[in-house]
Structure 1
Amino acid sequence: MPYDSRTKLEPNVYLSNGIGTTIGLNCRINENVFIQQATIEDEVLIAPNVAILCLPHKHDRVDIPIIEQGDEELQPPMIKRGAWLGRNVVVMPGVTIGEGAIVGAGAVVTKNVEPFTIVGGVPAKFIKKR
């Protein structure tokens, strides 16, 4: 990852193990953000308390505890150039947030977000194009 003095990570940004995560140029990642693994392109804004997840738990069997069933395959999300994730957003594994998209505060993103689209809610739904 090239060094860019314009990229700012606030206190308590947690990169799960850091392997496979890339952060682009001129990004702002606010406090208390949790990133399991993701590709974050240039000029992305991430508000406080966002969680970006990549590793779903297996849960198909009912005869053993979920904690003992292991994990699914890695599904790192992709946050495209110029996207903005509002406060307390959760991005689920495998999701792509399109270029210039905005995800409203508190949304849970379970499906891909088209470029230059605003979504919000639980689960996140289309609000309008920008």
Structure 2
Amino acid sequence: MLRTIGVRIGARSHISSPLVFEQSLGEETVRGLTIGYQTFVNSEVRFACRNSRIAIGNRCMIGPRVSFETSTHNLVIEDFHDRVDETRLTFHRDIVVRDGVWIGVGAIILCGVTIGEQSIVAAGSVVTRDVEAGILVGGVPARMIRRIVA
């Protein structure tokens, strides 16, 4: 069914339901999603890929309730309540998950992040910047815990 609405999914991948897709009227929200072969996506994973792309590599494991968020906005603090016309500007950046990545339950992957091959994102982590290949990251915001691949 996902393939019929434009999601690209590699062979022998397993996608558990339900999945959550960002809803926005008049905009494509699922055609930016690519999932590689032999990848497992658990239930209640959220994909927000409006105006951007989410690319998940081959042989990845995505835990339940992981959230991929490709959009954010600028911070407007000065004279916030006195603004009339200006609003916060939303911008979008792609998310890339390389081959062999494991993302634990409830992790949040924010816009513009690339997670390197064979890395692990610990459960409940918030990934705000790129993750090197072969390391374990965890925390809020996620930081390197240790190298797992020499």
Using structure 1 for the length normalisation, give the TM-score: 0.89
Highest Rg: 1 or 2?
Answer: 2
Q: CA deviation at 1:2?
A: 5.7
Report the more deviating stretch, 99-108 or 50-59: 50-59
The aligned residue for residue 129 of structure 1 is 147
State percent identity of aligned pairs. 29
The aligned residue for residue 55 of structure 2 is 39
Structure 2 unmatched ranges of 5 or more? 1-7, 23-28
The aligned residue for residue 137 of structure 2 is 119
TM-aligned CA distance change 1:25 to 1:117, over 3 Å: same
Tell me the amino acid that sits aligned with residue 54 of structure 1: T
In structure 1, distance between residues paired with 2:9 and 2:18: 22
In structure 2, distance between residues paired with 1:84 and 1:103: 6
TM-aligned CA distance change 1:50 to 1:124, over 3 Å: same
CA RMSD after TM alignment: 1.7
More strand by share: 2
Tell me the amino acid that sits aligned with residue 19 of structure 2: V
TM-aligned CA distance change 1:104 to 1:19, over 3 Å: same
TM-aligned CA distance change 1:2 to 1:103, over 3 Å: closer
Report the more deviating stretch, 113-122 or 14-23: 14-23
> Is contact 1:57-1:70 (8 Å) kept?
yes
Structure 1 unmatched ranges of 5 or more? none
The aligned residue for residue 78 of structure 1 is 96
* Structure 1 runs, 4 residues or longer, greater than 4 Å off: none
Tell me the amino acid that sits aligned with residue 108 of structure 1: V
Using structure 2 for the length normalisation, give the TM-score: 0.77
1:15 correspondence with 2:21: yes
Q: CA deviation at 1:3?
A: 4.9
Q: CA deviation at 1:13?
A: 1.4
Tell me the amino acid that sits aligned with residue 62 of structure 2: I
Q: CA deviation at 1:111?
A: 1.0
